Structure 1
Amino acid sequence: MTLKDWINESIDRYQTQPVWLATRESALQFIYGTSRRTIDPHLGTPIWESDASLVLVLDACRVDLLREVVDDYDWLPESNDIESRWSPGACSIDWIVRTFREHEAEAQKTAYITANPWIDQDVPWKDALPISSERFADLQKVYETDWQDIGGGVETTPPNAVTRDTYRICRDNPENVETVVAHYMQPHQPFKTRPEWTGEDTNLANIVDPDRHAGKCIWERTKRGEFDPDDVWTAYRENLAWVLKWVGRLLAHTDRRVLITADHGNGMGEFGMWGHPPGCRTSVNSTYSMGRNTCGRWANGRTRTADGST
């Protein structure tokens, strides 16, 4: 967002919202924008500092959300062993740019299998995007082949498609690929178990199809009081269970050293924050962490038992 954009949006807020609300929202947006251009680029631990050859990215997964479900999966570490670290970005766009564009040598040896369509977007205020396939050893855009209505109007790239394509790369083991990065779209909204929350608009479909209308995301609508935060957390957790089922199946069929991580998390009202605004940074050590950090730790795929695999 440019300064001109911020001014125009602020004027619109003061015309449509109570003064106190418009002031708060504009102040927060100014803080985020300043952070994104100053502090934000210098924070974060890139995935390349690990020695994993298979990196599994769970989009928008909070640390405490993952810790909450560890007892349901015997291939996840104990809750206390799940580490939290700063992520290179507070949103997918920044994470993608700072992970691949700013680490070109590593990207050249990487197969990136992604359900997240932001890599393909021509973002006016982010001239580092899109990132072309020539910058990778292999780039597979799963959203181009498998974006679908999974039921009730919920549109996304399902996790089974990412597991399928990642398994094929790991099985074939191309000589020019040192690291496989699989970017799942879940537990990011929309939520599979709550199709009634989608309505006529879907917040991600406009990225895949520019003729579509984005509408308001779950986090904005929860902030406005449309949904109970406890219900949203439950749906969020159910989306995590959906993706972990397919992560488990993948891990049962690989002997690669694995890192489970996230590109960012989501605010759930802490410090007045909902979702993952670009440039928003909060403490990763807090129980109410916004999740601007990795959400996993090391684990050896040889000892995995897949959840529901055959």
Structure 2
Amino acid sequence: MRRQMVLSSVLGPIQKRIHGNDGEYVMDADWDNLLILDGCRYDVFTQIHAKQSLEGELTTFQSRGSSSAEFMIENFGGRTYNDTVYVTANPHEKRVLDGSFYHTDRAWVDAWSEEDGIVLPEDLSKRARSVHEEYPNKRLIVHFMQPHVPFIGETQLTVNSRVTSGLREMMRDDADSDPDGDFEFAWEALRRGEIEEGVFWEAYRDNLIRVLDTAIPLSEKLPGKTVITADHGNAIGEWATPFPMPVYFHPSNVRIPSLNTVPWFVPPYTERKPIVRSEPSSDASDRTTESDDTVTERLVALGYTD
């Protein structure tokens, strides 16, 4: 959407010039396994943490990105980590990273659910366990796509029927909107008031619960210190300075707490994983083949447009 482009290309550089990037580098943090939730707000995670009485220590972390691509570039871009393997459901990495890890398993290529329009957390967890067994002495990063839409939790927000039809009519003559992707429709519908905020966040919370129901058991099965965090949050109309413009979704380069303050949750652990740094591997990329069209198709399914 044009609004997102303005925020990323105009507001972002101004904020960066004034404040810089005060985010933390995840690769410098202390962990053996890093489970990344995509687009997870700290405040919503806190609600679920309290409601479910999750065992472990919860603090905050300042992300260096307000979008997945920015997060990846800031933390992994232009560097090589031969002590780390990466299992990801997020297609952005194919566009912005180039052999950053000892091995990359692109689950978004061949574990993609056409029915759900995303890699299901249960399927990604299976891939993660398999990669761990193959590389037991490497740090492990697992990048889930939830709670990012599409919503696959108990409350599923469908924006394909009357709401979408109505939005299509409004968007035809609205240069501030983009007619591609249900994800854009969901956030545009929320901004316009076509979807009740409470209903939207109920679906968002249920999506977070869905992924935590997989991520928590995964953390218990993996040896070593596991941290559950997020690449960025999501904005729901919070104001960004110095421009009086409400922010929705997660445009790149924008610095506001709802986007950059993310959870840093450490479940209990009893042992540390012995980590070995190796020489670069000929297996540094994934074992699947994919075209640029596949990357584009997956990103469009998640609501991103070129």
Normalising by structure 2, we get a TM-score of 0.72
Q: Tell me the CA shift for residue 218 of structure 1.
A: 2.0
Counterpart pick for 1:93 among 55, 69, 80? 69
Q: Tell me the CA shift for residue 42 of structure 1.
A: 2.7
**Higher strand residue share:** 2
Q: What CA distance in whole angstroms lies between the structure 2 residues aligned with 1:258 and 1:148?
A: 27
Seen in structure 2, the aligned counterparts of structure 1 residues 26 and 174 have a Cα distance that, compared at 3 Å, is closer
| Aligned match of 1:265 | 233
AA aligned opposite 2:39: A
* Greater RCO, 1 or 2 (C-alpha within 8 Å, sep 6+): 2
C-alpha contact 1:63 1:84 (8 A) present in aligned 2: yes
The 5 Å alignment of 1:63-142 reads: 63-77=42-56, 82-102=58-78, 104-105=79-80, 107-121=81-95, 129=96, 131-132=97-98, 134-142=99-107
The 5 Å alignment of 1:40-51 reads: 42-51=21-30
C-alpha contact 1:115 1:143 (8 A) present in aligned 2: yes
C-alpha contact 2:15 2:255 (8 A) present in aligned 1: no
C-alpha contact 1:35 1:279 (8 A) present in aligned 2: no
| Aligned match of 1:241 | 209
The alignment of Structure 1 onto Structure 2 pairs a total of residues equal to 247
Seen in structure 2, the aligned counterparts of structure 1 residues 96 and 160 have a Cα distance that, compared at 3 Å, is same
Seen in structure 2, the aligned counterparts of structure 1 residues 74 and 252 have a Cα distance that, compared at 3 Å, is farther
Q: Tell me the CA shift for residue 135 of structure 1.
A: 2.8
Seen in structure 2, the aligned counterparts of structure 1 residues 53 and 26 have a Cα distance that, compared at 3 Å, is closer
| Aligned match of 1:185 | 145
Q: Which runs of 5+ in 2 are unaligned?
A: 166-178, 240-245, 272-306
Bigger mean CA deviation after superposition, 190-199 or 91-100: 190-199
C-alpha contact 1:223 1:274 (8 A) present in aligned 2: yes
Q: Which runs of 5+ in 1 are unaligned?
A: 1-5, 10-21, 122-128, 202-211, 285-289, 304-310
| Aligned match of 2:251 | 277
Q: What CA distance in whole angstroms lies between the structure 1 residues aligned with 2:6 and 2:147?
A: 29
- Give secondary structure in 1 for the equivalent of 2:142: strand
Seen in structure 2, the aligned counterparts of structure 1 residues 42 and 189 have a Cα distance that, compared at 3 Å, is same
Q: Tell me the CA shift for residue 302 of structure 1.
A: 4.3
Seen in structure 2, the aligned counterparts of structure 1 residues 228 and 135 have a Cα distance that, compared at 3 Å, is same
Identity %: 24
Over the aligned positions, Cα root-mean-square deviation in angstroms equals 2.9
- Give secondary structure in 1 for the equivalent of 2:216: helix
Q: What CA distance in whole angstroms lies between the structure 2 residues aligned with 1:148 and 1:57?
A: 19
Seen in structure 2, the aligned counterparts of structure 1 residues 68 and 297 have a Cα distance that, compared at 3 Å, is same
- Superposed CA offset, 1:211-238 (max 9, x none): x943524222210112111101100000
Q: What CA distance in whole angstroms lies between the structure 2 residues aligned with 1:242 and 1:40?
A: 36
Seen in structure 2, the aligned counterparts of structure 1 residues 39 and 45 have a Cα distance that, compared at 3 Å, is farther
- Give secondary structure in 2 for the equivalent of 1:143: helix
Q: Tell me the CA shift for residue 298 of structure 1.
A: 2.8
Counterpart pick for 2:134 among 149, 155, 172? 172
Seen in structure 2, the aligned counterparts of structure 1 residues 146 and 30 have a Cα distance that, compared at 3 Å, is closer
- Give secondary structure in 2 for the equivalent of 1:246: helix
AA aligned opposite 2:93: I
- Superposed CA offset, 1:107-160 (max 9, x none): 232111000111113xxxxxxx2x23x33111011110121144xxx4111101
- Give secondary structure in 2 for the equivalent of 1:169: helix
Q: Tell me the CA shift for residue 194 of structure 1.
A: 2.0
Seen in structure 2, the aligned counterparts of structure 1 residues 36 and 186 have a Cα distance that, compared at 3 Å, is farther
| Aligned match of 1:159 | 121
- Give secondary structure in 1 for the equivalent of 2:264: coil
C-alpha contact 1:256 1:300 (8 A) present in aligned 2: no
Bigger mean CA deviation after superposition, 166-175 or 56-65: 166-175
Q: What CA distance in whole angstroms lies between the structure 2 residues aligned with 1:255 and 1:26?
A: 42
Q: Tell me the CA shift for residue 74 of structure 1.
A: 4.7
Normalising by structure 1, we get a TM-score of 0.71
Q: What CA distance in whole angstroms lies between the structure 2 residues aligned with 1:27 and 1:100?
A: 26
Q: What CA distance in whole angstroms lies between the structure 1 residues aligned with 2:6 and 2:219?
A: 44
Query: Is residue 214 from structure 1 mapped to residue 188 from structure 2 by the alignment?
Result: no
Q: Tell me the CA shift for residue 90 of structure 1.
A: 0.7
Q: What CA distance in whole angstroms lies between the structure 2 residues aligned with 1:115 and 1:240?
A: 15
Structure 1 runs of 4+ aligned residues shifted over 6 Å read none
Seen in structure 2, the aligned counterparts of structure 1 residues 296 and 198 have a Cα distance that, compared at 3 Å, is farther
- Give secondary structure in 2 for the equivalent of 1:197: coil
Seen in structure 2, the aligned counterparts of structure 1 residues 188 and 76 have a Cα distance that, compared at 3 Å, is farther
